[in-house]
Copies of this chain bind each other. A is one copy, B any other.
Amino acid sequence: MTDIIARDETASLISADKVEGTDVFNNDGEKLGSVQDVMLDKRQGNVAFAVMAFGGFLGMGEKHHPLPWDTLNYDDERDGYVVNLSKEKLEGAPTIERNETNRLYDRSYGEKIYGYYGVPPYWM
């Protein structure tokens, strides 16, 4: 049933609850971490960021990576999101500390993040 819905042309909706906690993989199938939080843009009605937790991935404890929502692609087979990002790309990526999501309120910081991933900011 879930698979049928997932393939349905109109079935692009998902509960925020279900996004959070979902695994994230790279193109090689390596698990990078999981979605920790989803940041919504109240004024514009967009999903602004998925905040990923990469626990100990870089050998220095859990770091949170805010990613443009567009970088995540759901993969039925893996039952998780796949991001087209190398480890090198992620190692140099902007990170925030846990509970630092208010840094994302700053549009210039947001632009920096979107720019790093080559995604045009939805607000510009």
Contact = CB atoms under 8 A, between A and B. Distances in A.
Contacts of A39: 13-16
A105 B11 contact: yes
Contacts of A24: none
Contact of A13 (B5, B12, B105): B105
A78 B58 CA distance: 42
A: interface residue count bin: 35 or more
Interface stretch (A25-33, A41-49, A87-95): A41-49
A38 interface: yes
Given A5-B102, A45-B69, A46-B47, A40 B17 contact: no
Tell me how many chains of this kind the complex includes. 2
B42 A12 contact: yes
B41 A15 contact: no
Contacts of A57: none
A123 to B, nearest CB: 9
A86 interface: no
A96 interface: no
